[in-house]
A and B are shown apart, each in its own frame.
Chain A
Amino acid sequence: DTEVTQTPKHLVMGMTNKKSLKCEQHMGHRAMYWYKQKAKKPPELMFVYSYEKLSINESVPSRFSPECPNSSLLNLHLHALQPEDSALYLCASRREGSTNEKLFFGSGTQLSVL
């Protein structure tokens, strides 16, 4: 299994809603990432988890709350989002400590905030 699976693929939410994005991998990777990608722009790093601990927060607003409940699962909890948060949210994973620097990406969740 060499996949990173993200659900849902599409999400529409209002500014008062609470929703969660889910990311799962079964490759034994211990580094997991959330990226945000606006249309026609490159991905921007949001969070990095290393061995289930948050290691990097790129000054992301608190309305985005990451969670890594176990080594295979990464969540992104969303609350009180703004329309400008509409974007593609990509999850990625990497084998921590490996000389192979390859990131495996999921297909993303396309989020629309109304």
Chain B
Amino acid sequence: AQTVTQSQPEMSVQEAETVTLSCTYDTSESDYYLFWYKQPPSRQMILVIRQEAYKQQNATENRFSVNFQKAAKSFSLKISDSQLGDAAMYFCAYRSRGGNEKLTFGTGTRLTIIP
């Protein structure tokens, strides 16, 4: 079974600074998807960024980028120019590519933005 580990329960960053959230996972599969989801106080889970394991290039979405290290099974999220609206719980998640619908989440990292 796949597992996803987020070792940082809480992180904080000054507004406009850069922060990196860590995620490691364990799998025996070679083809899969990795995601970062954000859950603000509104409770809605919002997709931040997505990475396909067969792509070597790291995904980027505006101020958000990932460092995907497949051999190390590491998938960290970098948030640049942090904004107050980035404050949320961030979940790393894994999904097999081969038809299994289950999205396996990590335990989450609560990010606080300091004005």
Contacts and interface: CB of A to CB of B under 8 A. Distances in A.
B108 A42 contact: yes
A103 B47 contact: yes
Interface string A84-114: 0000101010000000011101111010000
B91 to A, nearest CB: 6
B33 A107 contact: no
Contacts, number: 46
B56 interface: no
Please classify how large the interface on chain B is, using the bins under 10, 10 to 19, 20 to 34, 35 or more: 10 to 19
Contact of A42 (B33, B44, B50, B105): B105
Nearest to A94: B101
Contacts of B103: 43, 45, 103
A40 B9 CA distance: 10
B10 to A, nearest CB: 11
B36 to A, nearest CB: 12
A105 B45 contact: yes
B78 interface: no
Interface of A: 31, 33, 40-43, 45, 48, 50, 55-56, 58, 88, 90, 92, 101-103, 105-108, 110
A108 B50 contact: no
A107 to B, nearest CB: 4
Given A45-B102, A56-B101, A101-B50, A107 B107 contact: no
Nearest to B4: A42
Residue of A43, A48, A58, A90 with highest tally of chain B CB at under 10 A = A43
